[in-house]
Chains A and B, each alone.
Chain A
Amino acid sequence: MNVAVREPKAAQRLKIVDCDIHPTWRTPAELHPFMSKRWQEHMATYGTFFRHGLTGQLPYPRMMAGGMRVDSFPEDGSPPGADLDLMRRQHLDPNGVEVGMLIALSRGGLEERNLDFAAALSSAANDWQRECWVKKEPRLRAAIVVPQEHADYAVAEIDRRAGDPAFAQIMISPRSSDPLGHRRYWPIYAAAERCNKPIALHVAGFSGGHTSTGTGWPTYYIQEHFAMSSGMQNTLTSLVFEGVFERFPKLKVVLVEGGFAWAPALGWRMDKHWERMRSETPHVKRPPSEYVREQVWFTTQPIEEPDDPDHLAEIVNWVGWDRIMFSTDYPHWDYDDPKQAFRFKLSPEQRAKIFGDNARALYGLT
């Protein structure tokens, strides 16, 4: 209700790990110090993959102010997520964020089709995350952005960053050229396993050259928003049935912002059909849900809100209390407040796991 009443409570709350925070640049030129002259000029002349005529306008509709919390715009006119001080003031400090995972969407070479440029952009985005965010704010951790459509380049970028504690995980886009289980991406999973860093898959909508739904371009944002969750299910299904988890048993995958209430039903369905069609994919040696249970983590935002909040507790029972990690999505409009997100009663142990301990264990945070 107001600062005076809320702050003492904030001090008493347990320290949280927020698994989804979006930093952005004030202007694209913030990347220039980390790029060669050749790529600076290329970027200035041709732009990046997300190029379109209406400057500042997304090609697909978004809720609210371009998908942002209306109250998250810095006073200097820069975009939400560009001002570290505001992020501290508005989110990290009052919410007791001990560690925040940066998800630098569209700030690297994830979906750039010019592969050499993608490599330069990814490397610059990683330097930018380290220098402009993690170095200035030690609570934050970066994710290694990679040019995922060129596995050799991607692996080189992962290997270059593997020993740097500023990077907690590796980020690739689930809106990839092929479904992510495809063998062209396997060198990335091998590199992730080698350096013991999870792969973070953050939902994406229109990007990657595919429709967000699989059934054609949706009309409304409300449809596209839902399609992000069903797209995540397709990605997970691909990873399971292409045999990625079987081939890389130490691979850890974090599904960010894709929801989790669907996971039990998807597991039941995959298991049932695996029993009947197992001979088609004999390389999938165990029931699909077992791989998911052992190698997949889910972040909470935007948390599902059943009429009876206790139904969500039941779903977490099925997914696993050790596999759900709290996230806010700051500064995006569908942000979850840590004080408000869970509407059913969590035991102290459950609360500790979801709001921090699961992420601390996964990322080896001390």
Chain B
Amino acid sequence: MSRRVIARASEVEPGACKIVTVLGREVGLFNVGGEYFALSNRCPHRGAELCRGMIVALVGSSGPGEYHLSRPGEFIRCPWHGWEFDIRTGQSWCDPKSVRARQFAVKVEPGADLVKGPYVAESFPVTVEEDYLVIDI
């Protein structure tokens, strides 16, 4: 496992996902209200590119005729079969016990710290002026 600088923090807009390739693996970076999360771009259900799906809220209900939305922007819905995963944990909503999307811890680090090393940056220069996203992979 190594720590890698994978993107400038400013490249991942709030409510959006940016897919990057790290060590040959595609990882989706999410910005949920200023917090950053990273999921493998592979759906654990049937292998679709999970992070190309829609970012959605959770629809719940207390009974027929009623519904409520909660946690807007915190779930990713797979582009094939619509399975929903918690962006914060990778946990599947419909089968939480046995299915989980691979998650990577993300840290935001100032460029001033990173330029000292020993981190590896993916194909872009790290400068002291910006913040960067760093994951263990």
Are B53 and A4 in contact, CB atoms less than 8 angstroms apart? no
Q: Which of B21, B25, B41, B81 is close to A334, meaning CB atoms less than 8 Å apart?
A: B81
Q: Which of A5, A64, A69, A70 is close to B24, meaning CB atoms less than 8 Å apart?
A: A5
Does chain B have a CB within 8 A of A63? yes
Does chain A have a CB within 8 A of B82? yes
For B47, the chain A residues whose CB sits under 8 A away are 337, 339-340
Are A340 and B24 in contact, CB atoms less than 8 angstroms apart? no
For A70, the chain B residues whose CB sits under 8 A away are 52-54, 79-80
Does chain B have a CB within 8 A of A336? yes
For B114, the chain A residues whose CB sits under 8 A away are none
In the complex, how many residue pairs between chain A and chain B have their CB atoms under 8 Å apart? 46
Could you tell me the distance in whole angstroms from the C-beta of B30 to the nearest C-beta in chain A? 16
Does chain A have a CB within 8 A of B48? yes
Q: How far is the CA of A69 from the CA of B82 in the complex (A)?
A: 9
Does chain A have a CB within 8 A of B109? no
Q: How far is the CA of A69 from the CA of B77 in the complex (A)?
A: 12
Are A64 and B25 in contact, CB atoms less than 8 angstroms apart? no
**Majority secondary structure, A binding face:** loop
Number of interface residues of B (CB under 8 A): 18
Could you tell me the distance in whole angstroms from the C-beta of A67 to the nearest C-beta in chain B? 11
CB within 8 Å of A: which B104-122 residues: none
Does chain A have a CB within 8 A of B8? no
Q: How far is the CA of A69 from the CA of B46 in the complex (A)?
A: 13
For B52, the chain A residues whose CB sits under 8 A away are 70-71
Given contacts A63-B82, A334-B81, A335-B80, contact A2 B48 (CB under 8 A): no
For B54, the chain A residues whose CB sits under 8 A away are 70
Are B24 and A2 in contact, CB atoms less than 8 angstroms apart? yes
Q: How far is the CA of A290 from the CA of B25 in the complex (A)?
A: 51
Chain A 331-356: CB-based contact to B (< 8 A → 1; otherwise 0):
00111110111000000000000000
For A337, the chain B residues whose CB sits under 8 A away are 46-48, 80
